[in-house]
């Protein structure tokens, strides 16, 4: 199966009169080896179902489809979809279903088969990558793995550990749901147009989390948000109004620490202690 080369992409964009859109984060992959590497990493035991967000002209889709039982490709740009159909038809690929849709408005429960598990594999548009990854982990349990290319800075932030410079609210939230590995780095030279920054491919695997109530998860999110929105402040200040010193003491967390030192389990302990203390007051 031949990959999408730079000359084929440029020719097809020109014929269709499509200019890459910055707003849609359109940096198209023009290196078939990189596409193959991503698809191989995503392919698990074989015969799996994949979701690709933003297939564009199909550089990654043509690598993924032969390894898949089925691919659901969700693309927001109606102008690139005819190119994608053409690329797939020319390669006689028939297991890709293309939906013209903004993924941020996508109705996951209506479109995904209940009881199936999916891997999301994509070269994600940079402006929605972090938000989408967190949303999928929170709201779409049937997606149990994400193998995605993102900006280097975003990937490192998502995969970072407590106490590191990149550790943030997104890191803590993703860590609650999943384990993340940085698989490999990708140079700007393999995209058209070339972005200004490096990219990385990350491998996010959903973990089996102990069920907690929506209220506890809501508190966990609020605490993470409050802690990192004032990351230079000690917890006793940044969490004032949510969790007092008594709560922090009760779970053995030093109020003079900053949020960047806490693991997702620490944030969870604070949320659970708050729920318990509310119960005690009822």
CA angle (129 as vertex; 192, 78 as ends), nearest 5:
60
Stretch of residues binding ligand SAM (CB under 6 A), selected from 22-30, 152-160, 170-178, 243-251: 22-30
Pick 25 or 227: Cβ nearer ligand SAM: 25
Please report whether residue 31 would count as binding ligand SAM according to CB under 6 A.
no
Q: List the one residue from 48, 72, 123, 262 that touches ligand SAM (CB under 6 A).
A: 123
Using the rule CB under 6 A, is 60 a contact of ligand SAM? yes
Site stretch for ligand SAM (CB under 6 A), options 99-107, 113-121, 169-177, 243-251: 99-107
Q: Which stretch binds ligand SAM (CB under 6 A): 26-34, 207-215, 225-233, 267-275?
A: 26-34
Whether 40 and 64 have beta carbons less than 8 Å apart is answered as no
Q: Binding to ligand SAM by residue 102, rule CB under 6 A?
A: yes
Q: Between residue 126 and residue 185, which ones bind ligand SAM under the rule CB under 6 A?
A: 128
Per-residue tokens: 91: 């390669």
Contact between 54 and ligand SAM by CB under 6 A: the answer reads: yes
> Token digits for 29?
């992959």
Q: Is 266 in the site for ligand SAM (CB under 6 A)?
A: no
**Residues with Cβ < 8 Å from 210, sequence gap 6 or more?**
none
Tokens 């964009």, residue located: 13
Residue 170 CB neighbour total at 10 angstroms:
19
**How many angstroms separate the CA atoms of 120 and 125, rounded?**
14
98 vs 224, beta carbon nearer ligand SAM: 98
Segment interacting with ligand SAM (CB under 6 A) among 97-105, 180-188, 196-204, 272-280: 97-105
With contacts defined by CB under 6 A, name the span among 20-28, 173-181, 230-238, 263-271 that binds ligand SAM. Answer: 20-28
Asked whether position 77 contacts ligand SAM by CB under 6 A, the answer is yes
What count of residues does the chain have? 282
Contact pick of 8, 12, 24, 50 for ligand SAM (by CB under 6 A):
24
Question: What are the angstrom distances between the C-alpha of 185 and each of 54, 127, 198, 248?
Answer: 20, 19, 7, 39
Give helix then strand counts, H and E, for the chain.
12, 9
Residue nearest to ligand SAM (CB): 54
Asked if 260 interacts with ligand SAM (CB under 6 A), we say no
DSSP 82-149: HHHHHHHHHTT--SEEEEE--GGG--HHHHSPTT--EEEEEE--TTTHHHHHHHHHHH-TTEEEEEEE
Measured from the Cβ of residue 65, the count of other Cβ atoms closer than 10 Å reads 23
Nearer to ligand SAM, 75 or 266 (CB): 75
User: Do the bridges between strand 68-75 and strand 48-53 make them parallel or antiparallel, or are there none, so unpaired?
Assistant: parallel
Q: Applying CB under 6 A, does 221 fall inside the site for ligand SAM?
A: no
Q: How far is the CB of 97 from ligand SAM (least distance, A)?
A: 14
**Under rule CB under 6 A, residue 125 binds ligand SAM:** yes
CA-wise closest residue to 163 among 270, 259, 265, 255: 259
Between CA 154 and CA 219 the distance in angstroms is: 25
Residues of the shown chain interacting with ligand SAM in the complex, contacts defined by CB under 6 A? 24-29, 53-56, 59-60, 74-77, 80, 102-104, 123, 125, 128
């Amino acid at each position: 199966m031949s990959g999408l080369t730079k000359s084929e992409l440029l020719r097809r964009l020109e014929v269709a009169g499509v200019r890459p859109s910055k707003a849609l984060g359109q940096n198209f992959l023009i290196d078939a080896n990189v596409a193959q590497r991503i698809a191989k990493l995503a392919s698990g035991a074989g015969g799996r179902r994949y979701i690709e967000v933003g297939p564009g002209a199909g550089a990654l889709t043509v690598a993924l489809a032969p390894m898949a039982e089925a691919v659901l490709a969700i693309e927001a740009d109606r102008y690139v979809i005819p190119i994608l159909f053409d690329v797939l038809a020319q390669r006689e690929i028939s297991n890709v279903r293309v939906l013209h849709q903004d993924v941020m408005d996508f109705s996951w429960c209506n479109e995904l088969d209940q009881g199936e598990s999916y891997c999301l594999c994509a070269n994600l548009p940079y402006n929605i990558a972090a938000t989408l990854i967190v949303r999928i982990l929170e709201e779409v349990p049937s997606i149990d793995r994400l193998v995605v290319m993102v900006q280097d800075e975003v990937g490192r932030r998502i995969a970072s550990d407590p106490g590191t410079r990149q550790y943030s609210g997104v890191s803590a939230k993703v860590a609650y749901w999943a384990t993340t590995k940085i698989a490999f780095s990708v140079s700007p030279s393999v995209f058209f147009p070339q972005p200004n920054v490096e990219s990385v491919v990350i491998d996010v695997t959903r973990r089996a989390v102990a069920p907690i109530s929506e209220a506890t998860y809501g508190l966990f999110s609020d605490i993470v948000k409050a802690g990192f929105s004032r990351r230079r402040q000690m917890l006793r200040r940044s969490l004032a109004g949510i969790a007092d010193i008594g709560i922090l003491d009760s779970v053995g967390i030093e109020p003079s620490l900053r949020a960047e030192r806490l693991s997702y389990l620490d944030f969870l302990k604070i949320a659970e202690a708050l729920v318990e203390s509310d119960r005690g007051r009822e």
